[in-house]
Amino acid sequence: MIIDVFQDTVCPWCRIGKSYLTEALGLWKGEPVSVRFRAFRLDSSIPPKGVPFTEAMNRKLQDPSGEKLQAVLDGVTRAGRQAGVPFRFDRILSMPDTRLSQQLIAAVPESSKSLVLDRIYRAYFEEGLNIGMESVLLRIAGECGLDPAETAKRLYHEDVENSVRADYALAKRLNINGVPFFILNKKVGFSGARPPEALLDIMKRVSENRE
C-alpha cells in the first residue's frame, strides 16, 4: 500500500496527523506500507524572509484584532497533547516561507525523510526556530545523521526544486485546499488529522479493495 501525505511544515495539524499515522502504522498487521511525504504550501504569499507569526495568523483568521488567535492556539495545543506532540506557540516569532524546508525533505534519502520532517516540526513548534533559514535546516540535517555539506549541495539541486514544484502542481490538480491530506493507493483521499483507529479502518478497507 502506498500512502501519499501532503503536508506543510508550519501546519500543526500536519504534525498531529503524522503522529497519528505513525501510531497506526505501528499497529498495522496487513500488507507492507510505503509512505510518501509530499510538499504543500498553505500560504504562497509569505516572502522568503518570512513575516511575524501573529500577523500571518491574524490575517489567516481574518481577525485584525487578534481576539481569536489564542483560542485557536489553545485548541491546537490540546489536540497535540492528545496525539503526543507538544506545541510551544509562545516561542514562535516568525511565519516562514516553507519552500526551503520542503526542499530539504526532498533532498534527503528516502530512509531519512520521516525523521527529518519530525525534526523540522520539533524545531518550529517546540523550539521556535526559523525553518525558512538554510543554516537552521542544515543543522537539522546534521542532527539527523546527514552530512550538512552534502545536503547543502543537494538543497538547491534542479531535481529537488522540480520535485517540490511537482508536488505543488499535483495538489492543485487534485484540488487539495488544506492539509494534512492523505491518498491511499492513488484512489482514496481524505483530509484532516484522523485518529489511529480511523486510519486503520480506512487502510483495512483499501487493502481489502472495499474502497
Burial 83-94 (b: 16+ CB within 10 A, else e): bebebebeebeb
pLDDT in tens, 39-61: 999 999 999 999 999 999 999 99
Query: What's the pLDDT at 209?
Result: 86
Query: What's the pLDDT at 135?
Result: 98
Query: What's the pLDDT at 69?
Result: 97
Q: Would you say residue 4 has pLDDT above 80?
A: yes
Query: What's the pLDDT at 152?
Result: 97
Burial 168-205 (b: 16+ CB within 10 A, else e): bebbeeeebeebbbbbbeeeeeeeebbebeebbebbee
Query: What's the pLDDT at 22?
Result: 98
Query: What's the pLDDT at 26?
Result: 98
Q: Would you say residue 68 has pLDDT above 70?
A: yes
Place of cell 545523521: 145
Q: CA-CA distance, 200 to 10, in Å (whole number)?
A: 26
pLDDT in tens, 81-119: 999 999 999 999 999 999 999 999 999 999 999 999 999
What is the pTM for the complete model shown? 0.96
pLDDT, greater one: 5 or 64: 5
Q: What are 170's three cell numbers?
A: 499535483
Strand runs (DSSP E) across the chain, as ranges?
A: 2-7, 34-39, 51-52, 94-95, 181-184, 188-191
State residue 151 phi and psi, 5-degree precision: -65, -40
Query: What's the pLDDT at 210?
Result: 64
Query: What's the pLDDT at 79?
Result: 98
Place of cell 495545543: 77
pLDDT in tens, 171-204: 999 999 999 999 999 999 999 999 999 999 999 9
Q: Would you say residue 211 has pLDDT above 80?
A: no
Query: What's the pLDDT at 25?
Result: 98
pLDDT in tens, 121-175: 999 999 999 999 999 999 999 999 999 999 999 999 999 999 999 999 999 999 9
Q: Would you say residue 64 has pLDDT above 80?
A: yes
